[in-house]
Structure 1
Amino acid sequence: MKVILLERIGKHGTLGETVKVRDGFARNYLLPQGKALRATKENQARFDRERANLEARNAERKSSAEQIKVGLDQRSFVVVRQAAETGQLYGSVAARDIVDILAAAGETITRSQVNINAPIKNLGVHEIEIVLHADVRATITLNIARSEDEAQRQAKGEDVTAGAREDTFVREVGSVLDDEGMDREEL
């Protein structure tokens, strides 16, 4: 389906371009969200009449996004979650959790603005991209740890799961040796 874009849409095009997109993308996202019009002569004439207003609205959204970026970019947030000794979370940190964390910090972000491919399932420091506008992106850091103390150690670059992995290995080797009837001191 051919549509006239009313704002910049990722890889598809910019304001005023007539582009061909998949029918489902147009019907289910672009048209209901008011981000595009069907490419007809009437809609092209309507777009030409309203172009100045659309450009002004887009510029206003972009400047608003840049103001939000100033307060959000390069901020770090500590997330305390329960996890196994190996660093595997008993759950995950998903986009909705990130939105809640930012809301607690006074930032208003929607789930669709959080650019995360899959939920985070491990302890550690993770970089998350927030798409505030098609042209404006901010990056935040999530420090996911079991406690505040552990988060401080992770921030310094320590691997908080290294000791746990060594302990687990020693226990596993010890249980194998015990099953074989060998004395640990023979090794």
Structure 2
Amino acid sequence: MQVILRNDIDGLGKRGDIVDVADGYARNFLLPKGHGIKASAGAIEQAAKMRKARDLRDASDREAATTVASTLVPKVITLTAKAHDGKLFGSIHDAEIVAAVAEQTGIEIDRKAIIIDDPIRTLGQHQVKASLHPEVSFPITLDITEA
């Protein structure tokens, strides 16, 4: 059965895509939950409009993420934390990084966009990755100093 997706579904497609799925999957999951509509001539035209809107929104989001990345990459964000002998009491979390970025640069980013590979538990310079868009990820340099 051909279905037009109304929402992004992992492993299946994005909003506005026309996908072939099993009849039972469409009848029992996609259609009742509102994730898709059955493909017809008029619905296919509507799907084209959804895809065009999605592409425009995606392009503007990518451009905004690139602008933020070009602003944040050369900057060093300074954070203060309680420490003893170079080791922190606890660790630096994504919420603290987001607050410091907003305070020092005026750029608001979502805390879920910050990716910390290893916990930050020492003083000095560290790098974390920020992913504001699936195609735009960049490093943020942190300088952790003792409070």
Q: How many residues align?
A: 121
Q: CA deviation at 1:118?
A: 4.9
With normalisation by structure 2, the TM-score equals 0.68
What RMSD in Å do the two structures reach over aligned CA positions? 2.8
Alpha-carbon displacement from aligned partner over 1:4-43 (angstroms, at most 9, x marks no partner)? 224xxxxxxxx9486xxxxxxxxxxxxxxxxxx8465349
Q: Give the structure with the larger helix fraction.
A: 1
Partner of residue 122, structure 1:
122
Percent identity, please.
Answer: 25
Counterparts of residues 89-108 of structure 1 (less than 5 Å): 89-105=88-104, 106-108=106-108
Q: Secondary structure at 1:49's aligned position in 2?
A: helix
Counterpart residue identity of residue 140, structure 1 = I
Counterparts of residues 169-184 of structure 1 (less than 5 Å): none
Unmatched runs of 5 consecutive residues or more in structure 1? 7-14, 19-36, 148-187
CA separation of 1:17 and 1:103: change in aligned 2, threshold 3 A: farther
CA separation of 1:121 and 1:47: change in aligned 2, threshold 3 A: farther
Q: CA deviation at 1:130?
A: 0.9
Alpha-carbon displacement from aligned partner over 1:102-136 (angstroms, at most 9, x marks no partner)? 01021111111111145422222111111111111
With normalisation by structure 1, the TM-score equals 0.55
Partner of residue 64, structure 1:
64
Partner of residue 151, structure 1:
none
Q: Secondary structure at 1:4's aligned position in 2?
A: coil
Q: CA deviation at 1:70?
A: 1.4
Unmatched runs of 5 consecutive residues or more in structure 2? 1-8, 20-33
